[in-house]
Amino acid sequence: MRGKMFELEPLLEDFELLCGCRLTLHDHHHVLADPDGTPMFRPERTSHRRTYAACGKANRQYCIAHCMFRFNAEAERTRSRCRINHCREGNIEVAVPVFRNGRHVISLFAGLWHRRVPEPERKRIAALCRLLPVFADGLLNEAERIKAAGPGHAAQKEKIRAFIAENFNRRISTHDLAGYLALSVTRTCHAVRETCGKPFSELLTDERLAHAELFLRHTDYRIGEIAGLCGFPSVEHFTRTFHRRNRMSPGQFRKSIRN
């Protein structure tokens, strides 16, 4: 039964039906999960031993070391789009690592075949090597679309604002926020506008200026010191930005509240 909580499961089942294989998923950063953490696919897909009968009798420690840790390390090292995995039991699978903003976020595996693969199946495996990376990217994009359109807007808005609040005094960009949200940069830009009503740069400036005003009100820090504490690249940039927003310089603002 295709439950509503497993939104991506129909796509995975359709792929299996059309391609004549079984799919296993490793979701390292929970990017294929709803905002509350509920997976968008059936949890048994995370285990080769539960997906493939041939792996059920294999040594668990070896399977985890080979199919997770060793594969992850090799994916990080080579950054290859696809590879053929061989295990000591003679099983063969097509393995695809998917990266978002430089991070390895999911791995998708299709199989399983034994070492003596007939010619028709070899052609199927070659086709999967071309098709599976495209499907994996599409799966991640679909998860992003579901999350952006779902009731998790409030939670996502809080995550965005929390990230900015925690990092306003550093040099950050939408690329950094995208890594935090495990979304593409394009989807992140859309998500920020959809949930917060402003672009990322404007939200970041709002946060920096709010802290700057607090420093001006309650401390004797110099203008240049406040600029650095609030993440502005220079005192000149801080002064221009502050004047544009408040129609007065930081020094004039400080005098106005103390008179």
Look at residue 3 in the predicted model and tell me its pLDDT. 39
Q: Record the tokens describing residue 149, joined without a space.
A: 């359109």
Look at residue 23 in the predicted model and tell me its pLDDT. 94
Stretches where the chain sits below pLDDT 50 are 1-3
Task: Map tokens 């394009």 to a residue.
Answer: 186
The answer to whether residue 104 is domain-embedded is yes
Are 167 and 222 part of one and the same domain? yes
Are 137 and 16 part of one and the same domain? yes
Chain center to CA of 171: 20
The answer to whether residue 1 is domain-embedded is no
Look at residue 176 in the predicted model and tell me its pLDDT. 94
CATH value at residue 192: 1.10.10.60
Q: Which of 86, 113, 142 is the last residue of a domain?
A: 142
The answer to whether residue 148 is domain-embedded is no
Confidence (pTM): 0.61
Q: Which of 99, 115, 142 is the last residue of a domain?
A: 142
* β partners of residue 179: none
Chain center to CA of 59: 31
Q: Record the tokens describing residue 258, joined without a space.
A: 């103390």
Are 158 and 112 part of one and the same domain? no
The answer to whether residue 147 is domain-embedded is no
| DSSP conformation letters of 26-67 | EETT-TTB-TTS-BSS-GGGG-HHHH-HHHHTS-HHHHHIII
Look at residue 59 in the predicted model and tell me its pLDDT. 65
Are 135 and 157 part of one and the same domain? no
Strand order in the sheet with 103-114: 22-27, 103-114, 91-100, 83-86
Are 64 and 157 part of one and the same domain? no
Look at residue 2 in the predicted model and tell me its pLDDT. 38
